[in-house]
Structure 1
Amino acid sequence: MKIPIIDIFAGPGGLCEGFSNIPSNNKQVFESKLSIEMDSNAHKTLELRSFFRKFSRKNVPDEYYQVMRESDIERRETLKEELYKRYPKQAKQAQEEAWCTTLGVVPAKEVDRRIQTALKGEKNWVLIGGPPCQAYSLVGRSRRQWKENLDKKDVRVHLYKEYLRIIAKHSPAVFVMENVKGLLSSKIDGVKIFEFIKRDLSNPAIVFKDAEYKYKIYSLTTNPVEFDSEDQPLYNSDLDFLIRSEEYGIPQKRHRVILLGIREDVKVIPDILGKSSNPVTLKDVIGDLPKIRSGINRSFVKSEMINGKKKRYYKTAVDSDQNWSDLTNSFRSEIISWNGFAKKYDLLEINTPKQGVGEEFIKCDTPKKINPLYSWFHDQNLEGAANHQSRTHLVQDLKRYMFSSMFAKTYGRFPRLHEFEEHGNELLPDHENAKSGKFTDRFRVQLPNEPATTITSHISKDGHYFIHYDPEQCRSLTVREAARVQTFPDNYLFCGSRTAQYHQVGNAVPPLLAKKIAEIVLKVLMQNV
């Protein structure tokens, strides 16, 4: 009997992917029964991945891989529909599992009906997911000048109560709730929202009077120091609920709050995550992907103030291998001439990568067996890399990217914005806050020999915080590289436009971390039998 999973606020399905990869005797242990997500592109990704999981790994139809190998996004959608028509049973199951709707808006009765239909009376099931986190984000609060206190009118602050309502109504044996680090410091009327959330989750009847069970709320990183009079685990600090992903074999410094709730009748104290002895670095996981160049879209000409507003003027730039080569080599030669850079570089020209700007699918041999996550990423039927195409950049940004990656190679760290100005005024962007000191890390190259910084949904807007470490590629990370950092398997296809793909990857829980959490959950449920 497989253990049912209900995934809400699912994003592209990172948590569910981890749980779905726990085998026992080569058979799936957890089975996703319902995934709820409001974003239409993420929903398409969920639906396609659900379809993939309806087959054993040895029997995934080649037509699935034909969808993945298609470089034209519109044509890929057509192939996907043809795939579903060819395998109608599995397609129907996937469409029933992946539900595109907005929790908190759709009637609760409809949510409850879907959950009850999916569970078929099973009591020992797992709820996973996390409410939208923008309202708790440290960056978000800074941008809104909130300081400590959240806006009580912001509906996202209270969406966790929809998660709580489902717990109260349907009583999962275990739940896993993920959110951002800012949750730990957020306050309403001077009281930490984290205390409210832990209190409500441990006793849903505080909010929903018909709740049948209480829950014990555990950390996944630290054993409790003791238990209180109601047998609730106690910890020294709220920071004990913070998971620093890089400490657990994830190639990313992603710090997230994850709560493990266990129903009071499940008399098991869970294990905690085991730390990895060696970090997995960025180069470890993306260094074996095909080299590609950045695209070019336009060049900044000038700006002027008109009626109190700055108007910027651009001209179209030619996006060709030759123009890219001419630009990057000229930038490189100039930077080498600056003090401190020449010692690390010779004067050989940068060769344009043979794959150009890349494609939605590139036929290649990746990952290599030296990749520490080879067995996790690899699918021998794929024969290449999907979602591996560079975005286009402003010509002046190419110079900034070149400077950033060369600086990092020379000094072993990324340059701060004042160091851009020290080397050349033209390196500073034409923005009012360029010299304000607020965004000193505006152009951040990712260092090759350590885990990457947190992949966030901001990567969908620009690549300035996610510059590739290789000066000879002079670009930001691709969707596939970001997906590797997030530990999505290579046969996981992200649907929608490239912007939508970036957004999905940035919002996800790393599947490999989710798998490690799932192993703990499985042990809890097996000990309870």
Structure 2
Amino acid sequence: MKELNYIDLFAGAGGLSEGFIRAGFSPIAHVEMNKDACDTIKTRTAYHWLKENKKAEIYNDYLKSETKNKEELWKNVPEHLINSVINKEISESTLPEIFNSIDKELNGNNVDLIIGGPPCQAYSIVGRARKDMESDPRNHLYKHYVKFLEKYNPNMFVFENVPGILSAKNGEYLNKIFKAVKNAGYEVAIPPKNHLNAKDFGVLQDRKRVIIIGWKKELNLKYPEFETTEHSFQILKDLFSDLKPLKNGQGTLNAVAYTKPTTEYLKQTNIRNGLEFVTQHIVRPNNDNDLEIYQIAIEKWNNGKRLNYAELPKRLIKHSNTDSFVNRFQVVNGKGVSHTVVAHIAMDGHYYIHPDKKQNRSISVREAARIQSFPDDYFFEGSRTAAFKQIGNAVPPLMAQKIAEKIREMIWKNM
């Protein structure tokens, strides 16, 4: 069978792309405006090429190195693959240059699929409160997405976004997107229940996302049916149990050994995938005030209650606003699945407190990556803050893989 290819727009750190690669797709290009996220994709591109060419030890040595030189790593890979990661903001002025770069990679071949979703903050409920919808240019990035559909004419596309896109301006934005892609020659649909949830795909996270899928009008297709993955896996015993216990401010970006054997969940999901060490198990530091609040939050959580910020002892309350965001300190559910990991985790860890009271800290970079189902050999370039942001913005690879497998079936049936 022909290897199917795709272009990833607004690619972030490559979570969606990782799922499509696992499902047998081959990337033509990734387009992303954030440099750290682009560097992460370049490093992951190096991983895939080196592994495929039986040179995985070069990548493993890079992970183990305490003085990582990403440019030296990338030199081991064909230059055009590194250059296929396009670090550009998608705009009217950059489109010709981006198209030109992609055309070089295509070398006359057709495009099977376009994936990706414009930055979702513009459609989020919080984002709307902060900025006038019409004046936020991110709300109109779908128009650029459609230009890629018009130019490359793929069989299908996958457009990922937050549930807020359904209600943004009373559904007006969603209608505009549908109208634009239909004018470009595509049928389009959203899930029967409007969104998909990562936890139904085996991800240990309650994360709802709107996955819009489109196909050429001449193809006889409909929205795919996804089976729900039933399981009883838990964060503490199945996802975190083999990671070294840490206190706030501890840990390292460098390689450290696992402390316990792997678990069935880590094996099934390929999160722990053959290495004897893990990287980026590092925790941000906290002040004494926050640590005391963490202790109270964990104690309440263990008794079946969430902490209400306004009910803290007055000496611990440092925010004047005690009417909204009263859940600003939240414990990850150690005996079930986590609440949604979002990009705000880059700002502070108060919304992602580790459930083990003895450790009394927010979750580490690696723990956040695991909640998002990234494998342990996935390295996030940039600072600790940059890594958290990339992870919070990502599509869980495990969810992406199962979507990709359905898309692959749909394309092959119509080839």
Partner of 1:37: 32
Distance 1:495 1:419, change over 3 A: same
Give the alignment partner of residue 364 of structure 1, picking from 257, 261, 265. 257
Deviation at 1:216, TM superposition (A): 1.6
SS of the equivalent of 2:39 reads helix
Partner of 1:200: 180
Structure 1 or 2, whichever has the larger Rg, is 1
Q: Distance in 2 between matches of 1:32 and 1:366?
A: 36
Give the alignment partner of residue 292 of structure 1, picking from 246, 249, 253. 246
Q: Distance in 2 between matches of 1:468 and 1:526?
A: 44
**Which segments of structure 1 move beyond 4 Å, counting only runs of 4 or more?**
none
Partner of 1:102: 89
SS of the equivalent of 2:334 reads coil
Partner of 2:406: 520
Counterpart of 2:241 in structure 1: which amino acid?
G
SS of the equivalent of 2:158 reads strand
Partner of 2:296: 403
Cα RMSD (Å): 1.9
Deviation at 1:202, TM superposition (A): 2.1
Give the alignment partner of residue 379 of structure 2, picking from 493, 510, 528. 493
Write out aligned runs for 1:271-290 (5 A): 271-278=224-231, 280-283=233-236, 284-290=238-244
Question: CA contact under 8 A between 1:216 and 1:263: conserved in structure 2?
Answer: yes
- The question of 1:425 aligning with 2:314 is answered yes
Deviation at 1:42, TM superposition (A): 0.5
Deviation at 1:287, TM superposition (A): 2.8
Q: Distance in 2 between matches of 1:105 and 1:202?
A: 21
Distance 1:256 1:367, change over 3 A: farther
Greater share of strand = 1
Q: How many residues align?
A: 412
Deviation at 1:107, TM superposition (A): 3.0
Question: CA contact under 8 A between 2:86 and 2:98: conserved in structure 1?
Answer: no
Q: Between the two proteins, what is the percent identity of the paired residues?
A: 33
Distance 1:201 1:173, change over 3 A: same
- What are the ranges of 5 or more consecutive residues in structure 1 without an aligned counterpart? 23-28, 145-149, 205-213, 223-239, 296-356
Once the two structures are superposed, residues 395-426 of structure 1 have per-residue CA deviations (whole angstroms, 9 ceiling, x without a partner) of 111111111112212x1232122342xxx323
Once the two structures are superposed, residues 57-93 of structure 1 have per-residue CA deviations (whole angstroms, 9 ceiling, x without a partner) of 582432211221234xxx21x2x333334x2xx2413
TM-score w.r.t. length of structure 2: 0.94
Distance 1:400 1:32, change over 3 A: same
Deviation at 1:193, TM superposition (A): 1.3
Partner of 1:440: 326
SS of the equivalent of 1:451 reads coil
Write out aligned runs for 1:82-101 (5 A): 82-85=72-75, 87=76, 90-101=77-88
SS of the equivalent of 1:177 reads strand
Deviation at 1:361, TM superposition (A): 2.5
Question: CA contact under 8 A between 1:412 and 1:447: conserved in structure 2?
Answer: no
Q: Distance in 1 between matches of 2:107 and 2:234?
A: 43
Partner of 2:365: 479
- What are the ranges of 5 or more consecutive residues in structure 2 without an aligned counterpart? none
TM-score w.r.t. length of structure 1: 0.74
Deviation at 1:263, TM superposition (A): 1.2
Once the two structures are superposed, residues 5-27 of structure 1 have per-residue CA deviations (whole angstroms, 9 ceiling, x without a partner) of 100100000110000012xxxxx
Deviation at 1:201, TM superposition (A): 1.6
Q: Distance in 1 between matches of 2:366 and 2:227?
A: 27
Question: CA contact under 8 A between 1:241 and 1:259: conserved in structure 2?
Answer: no
Counterpart of 1:427 in structure 2: which amino acid?
L
Deviation at 1:191, TM superposition (A): 5.8
Counterpart of 1:170 in structure 2: which amino acid?
Y
Q: Distance in 1 between matches of 2:85 and 2:112?
A: 18
SS of the equivalent of 1:55 reads helix
Partner of 1:123: 110
Q: Distance in 1 between matches of 2:384 and 2:346?
A: 8
Q: Distance in 2 between matches of 1:42 and 1:3?
A: 24
